[in-house]
A and B are shown apart, each in its own frame.
Chain A
Amino acid sequence: MTVTDRTITAPEETLALPAGPAIAHRPLGVFTRPQGSEGWRSWLFTVDHKRIGIMYGAAALFFFLVGGAEALFIRLQLATPNGSVIGAGTYNGVFTMHGVTMVFLVIMPMAAAFANYLLPLQVGARDVAFPRLNAFSFWCFLAGGMLLTSSILVGGWFQNAPDGGWFAYAPNTGLLFSPSKGIDFYAVGLQILGIASLVSAINLIVTVLNMRTPGMSFFRMPVLTWMLLITQFLLLFALPVITVALFLLMFDRLWDANFFNVEAGADPLLWQHLFWIFGHPEVYILILPAFGIVSEIIPTFSRKPLFGYHFMVASGIAIGFMGWGVWAHHMFTSGVGPLSVAAFSVSTMFIAVPTGVKILNWLATMYRGRLRFTTPMLYAVGVVSMFTIGGLSGVTHSIAPSDTQQTDTYYIVAHFHYVIFGGALLGLFGGFYYWWPKAFGYKLNEGWGKASFWVMLIGFNFTFGPMHILGLQGMSRRIATYRADEGFALWNMVATISSFVIALGVLMFFWNVYVSTRNWKRAGRPDVGPDPWDARGLEWMTASPVPEHNFDEDIEVDRLDHFWHRKYGKDENGRIVRAAPTSEIAHDGSNTNVHLPSPSYWPIVLGGGILLVGYGIIYNLWLAAAGLVFLVASIYGWILEPADDPDAAGHHDDHGDDHGGDDHGDPDSNGGPSGNGESATADEPAETEEATVG
């Protein structure tokens, strides 16, 4: 396939339309697009899905340190009976922020990092469907994350931190019972994060549905793509529900509405229903990306294709659907009535089936494989092993009568840490090790990686394993301390000591990043090659780090694991042999004629506007009004900004919606990384909507 460039001819024809193209190009004179791809500015204004993905990852790791520090404070407070390290008031803020941070600011954005970086690559697209919106999602996420995290500091240490638990049950979160600004930070922060995730979900869904490279039918998509797609659909439908709940809470707190005012006849269970209709799919939003990552890593290091691909996809979809029918298992003791309890108890039990299918398929993939226990493989197998524990304890509390003993005890804390830490987080860390060379061009050190894994795994099991025991021995969740004669001292001390072992393991990961980077630079930045692991997905079919334009040309996919099948074939004896060296198959990133969307100021400006509105809602509605005006102005600025930058040099001029004038040689090919660029048309309603809502 030769690469031609046909869009160069376009500018003359700009005049074809009757009125004001000049005005539209630069209507107010300030809309010069940012230029260049070097330096920190290029990161602030980038619309490149890979850079956005990296920024998501970096932000998530930063928040991981914050949430981890909070976890250590929790463990210090609980290390001994009658603990007084931070005291009950601060403790309530710390455990709330720990939960909120880890769920919304660590696991979700880490998954978003992989989704942003990998989805377009795995389906062979040049970028996401709406690159500027994608940048906006990130800045909006960061605005929400900063707003939430700032609650720790404003007005004194943990004075205004949310203190109602991540689940924020009404009426404890009402103004009467939580008079600080904490719950306002919670409600506004989560709304902003919701906008970010919703925009991102729409963007990524359209990307996967619409921008697959020729031949990439749904059942040729990698399992990670599938799991991320399902995750985006869960976000799409779950977020509006929590949005409603948060609005009701905000209205109650700010404007005296009655939604959770028991005196006015309200039933606090409304909050619980709304929260958990969101909250349970949220659990799958956290875990499915990790399932996808594990499904990529295990085949690579088993030298076998994934066992039961279709069943893996189907079980993911089944989890996605069934995840909507189990929310009330969080409410077995809330008084929802025996029939509801029975129905949700049974539905919850059966969601274990598709999850079990996944575990068994991973094991079957390893069966008779040639297993190489590299660091990513260790993490992936760690997920299989640890998640199984979380899954089994999950089944035990689907048994509603027994859940009345277990719920809100440390048994639950143990359970969901095995799921979210042992499942999601280990998977995501495995993903870091696995795709690090793809993103940065060098591998993380294996020795440090393995050491860090084992330290983390041991620390993890001795932190959360004992919590099963504590829970069954009757230790409640969210208690700031416990009496000496309740017999919880031993295992709490074990858990506290082990939590610092986890912290050590995490520090070893950061140290590994530092050491590996340093060594790579000292060695003269050797090229790791496009496919360092001998892997299977399309993302390995281009240079590392991935060039800005992803692929030099369209890839015509002819089957699942297309790249692997280009590399390997069978000889006459049916033995698998190299068909071609990777260097011949993979793109080297030398095609500089591919047209890319131009960087833009507006995404970050809009993110700033949202931050302003957020603080305004919490502190002063005039500030919010000013922020809203700023926001609307920014939206119009965004809309008036040409998606093409006529001033941009070289290949940076965008091709906007010129689907036909695509960068790739084959005008008859349909689909693929054709130049969809972005257009404000479709962005606009969504945007305006969100802005107003936000």
Chain B
Amino acid sequence: MAETMTAEAPGHTPEHHDGEHHTSTGLSNEKLAMWVFLGSECLLFGGLISTYMFNKGRIGPNDVGPEDVFDIPFTSVSSFVLLMSSLTMVFAVSSIARGDLRGNRIWLATTAALGATFVAGQVYEFTAFYSEGLGFTTNLFGSAFYALTGFHGAHVTIGIIMLMSLLVMSMRGNLGPERAETVEIIGLYWHFVDIVWIVIFTIVYLFPQ
């Protein structure tokens, strides 16, 4: 993202930076690309969720199943943490749009920290499940569960890496208000990942049958 800074460094007047100009749709190429990419991601998670739904019941009567391992209160808390990170992401976007660089750094860091908390919770959860006898290879439920939530966890992790990169840019003074759209675009990704989690949490945890 440092590139974008230098790329856009040459004398931009503000109206050049909101990305609202000179494209046929009015959206900047970057933002449009993110929307299009997220469209594709919907199908990726659609496929994974379908796979999970298809397979979760295909276990024997004595196998480790959803009810045996899920700790709903714990996962609810970590889900709440992830949801809150969407809120702080909104603050990050609005702060940079206002030119509040310090606030922006704080909110970026908070969002990344909340995301990291969620991932840490997921790691803890996986460890706990594993010790309760549910491994990736144990049964179909295990394979499908870890594949789905693992893919989501990887997405959150990538989001955290991007947020951290933004933070580093900001520290180095490369993330000014003219880059607000960059933050917004990464925010789009972050919100998408959160929404996907709401779906996963509902389908996987709240309705294990």
Taking Cβ atoms with an 8 Å cutoff, the residues of A that contact B are 7, 9-14, 16-21, 23-25, 27, 129-130, 198, 201-203, 205-206, 209-212, 216, 236-241, 243-245, 247-248, 251, 255-259, 261, 264-267, 270, 274, 277, 638-644, 654, 656-662, 670-672, 674, 676-686, 688-689, 692-693
Contacts and interface: CB of A to CB of B under 8 A. Distances in A.
A77 B41 CA distance: 43
Interface stretch (B68-76, B124-132, B179-187, B196-204): B179-187
Nearest to A673: B22
Interface of A, secondary structure class, is helix
A265 B140 contact: yes
A502 B163 CA distance: 56
Given A240-B41, A661-B10, A674-B23, A681 B58 contact: no
A671 B185 CA distance: 21
Given A681-B4, A682-B185, A688-B158, A660 B10 contact: no
Contacts of B158: 685, 688-689, 692
A676 B21 CA distance: 10
13 contacts: A10-B11, A202-B40, A209-B25, A241-B46, A243-B44, A274-B51, A277-B47, A639-B165, A644-B6, A657-B7, A658-B12, A681-B182, A685-B189
A212 B24 contact: yes
A312 B21 CA distance: 32
A264 B135 CA distance: 14
Nearest to A239: B40
A258 B33 contact: no
Interface in B3-31: 3-13, 15-16, 19, 21-25, 27-31
Contacts of B139: 258, 264-265
The 9 A-B pairs with the shortest beta carbon distances in the complex, nearest first, are A682-B30, A19-B173, A13-B11, A10-B10, A244-B47, A656-B7, A240-B44, A265-B58, A240-B43
Contacts of A10: 10-11
Interface of B: 1-13, 15-16, 19, 21-25, 27-34, 36-37, 39-41, 43-44, 46-48, 51, 54-55, 58-60, 136-137, 139-140, 142-144, 147, 154-155, 158-159, 161-162, 165, 172-174, 176, 179, 181-182, 185-186, 189
Contacts of A21: 6, 9
Interface of B, secondary structure class, is helix
A681 B10 contact: no
Nearest to B178: A17
Given A27-B2, A674-B22, A676-B23, A13 B173 contact: no
Contacts of B162: 684-685, 688
A17 to B, nearest CB: 5
A408 B176 CA distance: 61
B25 A660 contact: no
B38 to A, nearest CB: 9
A563 B41 CA distance: 39
A20 B44 contact: no
Nearest to A216: B24
Contacts of B19: 659
Contacts of A257: 136-137, 143, 147
A361 B183 CA distance: 48
A267 B51 CA distance: 11
Contact of B29 (A211, A251, A270): A211
B28 to A, nearest CB: 8
Nearest to A235: B40
Contacts of B36: 201-202, 205-206, 236
Given A674-B23, A682-B34, 14 more contacts: A10-B11, A20-B174, A270-B54, A642-B6, A656-B6, A658-B8, A658-B12, A661-B10, A662-B22, A671-B24, A685-B162, A685-B186, A688-B158, A688-B162
Nearest to B3: A680
Contact of B4 (A243, A255, A657): A657
B23 to A, nearest CB: 4
A206 B29 contact: yes
Given A266-B55, A274-B47, A680-B1, A251 B147 contact: yes
A676 B159 CA distance: 25
Contacts of B12: 657-658, 660
Nearest to B141: A258
Contacts of B159: 685
Nearest to A125: B24
A516 to B, nearest CB: 38
A19 B34 contact: no
Contacts of A679: 3-4, 7-8, 29-30
A202 B34 CA distance: 9
Contact of A688 (B16, B21, B23, B161): B161
B10 A658 contact: yes
Nearest to A10: B10
B193 to A, nearest CB: 10
Contacts of A670: 21-24
Most buried by A among B5, B16, B29, B44: B29
A664 to B, nearest CB: 10
A272 B53 CA distance: 16
B10 A13 contact: yes
A237 B44 CA distance: 8
B52 to A, nearest CB: 10
Contacts of B181: 681
A18 B170 CA distance: 11
Contacts of B165: 639, 684
Contacts of B47: 240-241, 243-245, 274, 277
A681 B30 contact: yes
B37 A202 contact: yes
Contact of A237 (B4, B40, B179): B40
